A and B are shown apart, each in its own frame.
Chain A
């Protein structure tokens, strides 16, 4: 399988600031990574597909100018929550896809005050 890490594991920020979350594929070169969001006691919702060397593909209803995704290398994708607001507080999880299986990072919990 693939090992995926995320950094930071949790972050608290003030409203209006930007937060960057990193997703790394440690043992697998991933041309595609996925970003999900999970609100408390809810399921995962796919936000966007991160494509190495090209623009991310966003799901309907996800603001691409608010959630900036950069996939600059085969092992790193970053999600930047710009001008964060309390309603952006959530659990953000990335994943890589390998042989029909998604391998998930441990997640990043974001709390916007």
Chain B
């Protein structure tokens, strides 16, 4: 079953603008990860944030995690047309019976116009 929801479902912006995507989840987690998927392709791991972390950066990516609200956000700064893709959050549940089993959010389709 899906862990939670992402919003917005779709986001359309101009090159150079920032893009923010949000993710909510329902259960306690070990970590939360963000993935990118280009149309019809596999997923690429972007960034992982652990349950005891609040913010993490990687290049133009900034991820925040609020475990009290069970939510996370992904910010892509200075977006480029090549950032156009679907973005998914995924949670690795605490106490899960299968190590590494991920539950994915619904995803946000990001379109960056040149």
Contacts and interface: CB of A to CB of B under 8 A. Distances in A.
A4 B45 CA distance: 13
B101 A49 contact: yes
Interface string A96-111: 0100111111110100
Interface of B: 1-2, 30-31, 33, 35, 40-45, 48, 88, 90, 92, 98-107
Nearest to B103: A46
Nearest to B2: A43
Interface residues on A, range: 20 to 34
Contact of A57 (B45, B98, B106): B98
A44 B98 CA distance: 17
B100 A32 contact: yes
Contact of A97 (B30, B100, B105): B100
Q: Which 5 A-B pairs have the closest CB atoms?
A: A97-B100, A106-B42, A104-B43, A104-B42, A44-B104
A45 B88 CA distance: 12
B45 A101 contact: yes
Query: Helix, strand, loop or mixed for chain A's interface?
Result: strand
A32 B42 contact: no
B32 to A, nearest CB: 11
Contacts of B35: 102, 104
Contact of B101 (A1, A42, A46, A101): A46
